[in-house]
Chains A and B, each alone.
Chain A
Amino acid sequence: MANSTFLRFLLLLLYQYRSKHAGIAVISSLIVALLSAVLFISQSIQAETALQLKAQPDFVVQRIRAGKRIDVPVEWLEEIQEINGVSSVTPRVYGEYYFSPREEHFLLFGVDFFDEQSSKAIEKIVQETDLRKFLSKEQMIVGDGVKKFLQEHYYKGFYNFKNPDGEIIKVPVYSSFDKETNIISNDMIIMPMELLRSIFAMDEETLTDIAFNVPNEAEWDNVLTKLHLLHYDIRVITKEEITKSYHNLFNYKGGLFLALYLITIMTFILIIYQRYAMVAVGWSIKDVLKLKFFETSIIVLLSFINGVIIAYCYVYLFDAPLLSNLFLGSENLSNEVAFMPVVDFGLLGSIFLFFGIPFIAAVLIPVWKIAVTEPKEAMK
């Protein structure tokens, strides 16, 4: 392989033409950084949602009238409990509370703190809460986005909800939950069910929907049929559907790829320069090619490492300003999220493969040129 004189000459060339090489390395690093940032973000979001979804109930049952969701009567609870194979049936009461001046909303989630929770995420929050203290008066637990929002609007540890009749209900904040796992629940508020009913002026005998699990996957179709036989106006949302819609949402952003790809190719076309003089003094096309290959490889490798490190810092240390908006949408409450670092070698492989193929094309082009030019040209 590369003997030491070859290596010395290679380094010499890199050094002599350093401004050109540096230019290429900078552009390439930026492309890799952008590409890696996009992949890091979507990978983290996917991992995060996978975690979240694992905590989701298998089925959610709602009631539909005229195409719109309406509240479910409590009697449905017992009917569902009677279906074979069904477990952790949970009544859920929640709703979106609009903060009209800013067109923003919180998700208010009512919890029966003494019941079994079908959502593992909420189960976890309930377990971490000192219930006696929490339930001693009407209080709420808020997501990180909500906490920030309240601080920005000068609410010191409480918020004044208005019920539909215009009465003000003042609710103090008991605690807030973790920033690390807030991609979905950033704008959520957890409170006792009765409090939530009073804020939305809901009927005592109704629920927003009912969640439950069916541990045996083979039973899913069966349960689905039974539910639809039960009521004509029932809507069933399965975990599977949610999983897929999330997946697609994040995969669509991959459309950025094609554009990036073109830029990459353009960069590498820049690397091509001819050194025919060497062909005349005893170098074969193979030697020229070897030189070009290593020259380009060094630049590619450097740019790759650089780009990945830049992207890593950008996404995981600085939480990806600008790009994260693209992925999470900016219409909702604060989107400041902490991405969990999820980097595996397959992801790095993706980046390298994507980056490496234009590189191959770039090394091949000089061969084209040499192959179509007379070696005698070198004499002129």
Chain B
Amino acid sequence: MIRIKNLDKIFNPSTKKAAHVLKEINLQINKGELVILKGVSGSGKSTLLSIISAMDKPTSGEVIVDGKAVSKLPDIHASHFRANSIGFIFQHFNLLDELSVKDNISIVLIPLGLSIKTVDEKVQKSMELANISHKADQQVKELSGGEKQRCAIARALVNDPGIILCDEPTANLDRTNSLHFIELVKTLQKMGKTIVIATHDPLFEEAGFHDSILHMSDGELGEPK
């Protein structure tokens, strides 16, 4: 469960460039729930995701994940939290081009100190889930956009996280691949994952996620329609 209380984020406070990006955000996302954040560019979606994943810190307010305040963790503990509880899918995938699909996925597990056997098993399982296991040994730079996406998804799933955060997951995909992604989201939902997706892709409405959509504009959160 994610609880966000009175969250404010101001970039460069008390300077001329000050930008109030998140304003008094209050939100509770239950375990297994799917939330889609919609909003125009610059409305603060990515910032909110980065604060939930403890990559960025709020100016005030709190983010509590499974009863633990994560917004004030020192680097090592924040990374620990990310490695154990969060799967992140980035708009630009953030993969290491020279490495193979398999190795890119295993990067997440390295700081956890698992045995090689466990790592290989987990990597294999998540590749199957994301339907990319047939490209396991191919270098990422040789993949198509959709395949890269699936590789990124496999990486987000490999640590078996309770929470999956997606930032514009379909922005670089064609319609077919986007639809594939949506199918996968449904599967993950069935597995009981908590999912937060930031997007402005209308496809999600078409796919019948109406109830889950939250509108964001200018750093403020609207009520679900």
Chain A residues in contact with chain B, CB under 8 A? 3-6, 8-9, 12, 16-17, 275, 277-287, 374-376, 378-380
Closest 7 CB pairs of A and B: A282-B83, A284-B79, A282-B82, A287-B111, A284-B76, A277-B94, A376-B56
| Shortest Cβ distance from residue A48 to the other chain B in the assembled complex, whole angstroms | 52
Docked-complex contact B76 and A286, CB < 8 angstroms: yes
Q: Which residues of A contact B112 (CB under 8 A)?
A: 282
B115 within 8 A of A: yes
Q: Which residues of A contact B76 (CB under 8 A)?
A: 284-286
Q: Which residues of B contact A16 (CB under 8 A)?
A: 98-99
- Please encode chain B, from 91 to 118, with 1 for each CB lying within 8 Å of some chain A CB and 0 for all others: 0101110110001001111111111100
Which of A4, A9, A280 lies in contact with B88, CB distance below 8 A?
A: A280
Decide yes or no: A379 and B55 within 8 Å by CB, A5-B119, A17-B98, A284-B75 being known contacts. Answer: yes
Q: In the complex, A15→B208 CA distance in Å?
A: 47
* Interface residues of chain B: helix, strand, loop or mixed (majority): helix
Q: In the complex, A284→B92 CA distance in Å?
A: 21
- Please encode chain B, from 52 to 95, with 1 for each CB lying within 8 Å of some chain A CB and 0 for all others: 00011000000000000000000110111011101010101011
Q: In the complex, A374→B55 CA distance in Å?
A: 8
Docked-complex contact A281 and B108, CB < 8 angstroms: yes
B50 within 8 A of A: yes
Docked-complex contact A280 and B94, CB < 8 angstroms: yes
Q: Which residues of B contact A17 (CB under 8 A)?
A: 98
Q: Which residues of A contact B106 (CB under 8 A)?
A: 5, 9
Q: In the complex, A379→B83 CA distance in Å?
A: 15
Residue with the highest number of chain B CB atoms closer than 10 Å, among A9, A279, A282, A283: A282
B167 within 8 A of A: yes
Q: Which residues of A contact B88 (CB under 8 A)?
A: 280-281, 379
Which of B46, B82, B155 lies in contact with A379, CB distance below 8 A?
A: B46
| Shortest Cβ distance from residue B127 to the other chain A in the assembled complex, whole angstroms | 16
Docked-complex contact B55 and A281, CB < 8 angstroms: no
Contacts A/B (CB < 8 Å), 27 sampled: A3-B113, A3-B114, A4-B115, A6-B110, A6-B113, A9-B103, A9-B106, A12-B103, A275-B96, A277-B95, A278-B107, A279-B55, A281-B82, A281-B107, A281-B155, A282-B82, A282-B159, A283-B83, A283-B111, A284-B79, A285-B76, A287-B110, A378-B55, A378-B94, A379-B55, A379-B90, A379-B167
Q: In the complex, A285→B75 CA distance in Å?
A: 7
Closest to B56 in A: A376
Place the interface of chain B in its size category.
Answer: 35 or more
Closest to B96 in A: A277
Q: Which residues of B contact A278 (CB under 8 A)?
A: 107
Residue with the highest number of chain A CB atoms closer than 10 Å, among B47, B99, B110: B110
Closest to B95 in A: A277
Q: Which residues of A contact B99 (CB under 8 A)?
A: 12, 16
| Shortest Cβ distance from residue A380 to the other chain B in the assembled complex, whole angstroms | 7
Chain B residues in contact with chain A, CB under 8 A? 46-47, 50, 55-56, 75-76, 78-80, 82-84, 86, 88, 90, 92, 94-96, 98-99, 103, 106-116, 119, 155, 159, 167
Q: In the complex, A8→B106 CA distance in Å?
A: 11
Closest to A380 in B: B92
Decide yes or no: A282 and B113 within 8 Å by CB, A16-B99, A376-B50 being known contacts. Answer: no
Docked-complex contact B83 and A5, CB < 8 angstroms: no
Q: In the complex, A4→B50 CA distance in Å?
A: 31
Docked-complex contact B55 and A282, CB < 8 angstroms: no
Docked-complex contact A8 and B79, CB < 8 angstroms: no
Closest to B159 in A: A282
| Shortest Cβ distance from residue B182 to the other chain A in the assembled complex, whole angstroms | 22
Q: Which residues of B contact A5 (CB under 8 A)?
A: 106, 109-110, 113-116, 119
| Shortest Cβ distance from residue A273 to the other chain B in the assembled complex, whole angstroms | 11
Docked-complex contact A283 and B96, CB < 8 angstroms: no
| Shortest Cβ distance from residue A323 to the other chain B in the assembled complex, whole angstroms | 40
Q: In the complex, A71→B99 CA distance in Å?
A: 81
Residue with the highest number of chain B CB atoms closer than 10 Å, among A279, A284, A286: A284
Closest to A13 in B: B99
Q: Which residues of A contact B167 (CB under 8 A)?
A: 379
Docked-complex contact B95 and A282, CB < 8 angstroms: no
Q: Which residues of A contact B55 (CB under 8 A)?
A: 279-280, 375-376, 378-379
Q: In the complex, A81→B144 CA distance in Å?
A: 98
Which of A6, A275, A279, A380 lies in contact with B79, CB distance below 8 A?
A: A279
Docked-complex contact A9 and B80, CB < 8 angstroms: no
Q: In the complex, A122→B188 CA distance in Å?
A: 92
Docked-complex contact A374 and B79, CB < 8 angstroms: no
Which of B47, B103, B108, B115 lies in contact with A282, CB distance below 8 A?
A: B108
Closest to A286 in B: B76
Residue with the highest number of chain B CB atoms closer than 10 Å, among A17, A279, A376, A379: A379
Closest to A4 in B: B116
Q: In the complex, A59→B33 CA distance in Å?
A: 97
Q: In the complex, A308→B106 CA distance in Å?
A: 37
Residue with the highest number of chain A CB atoms closer than 10 Å, among B86, B107, B111, B167: B111
| Shortest Cβ distance from residue B93 to the other chain A in the assembled complex, whole angstroms | 9
Q: In the complex, A5→B116 CA distance in Å?
A: 5
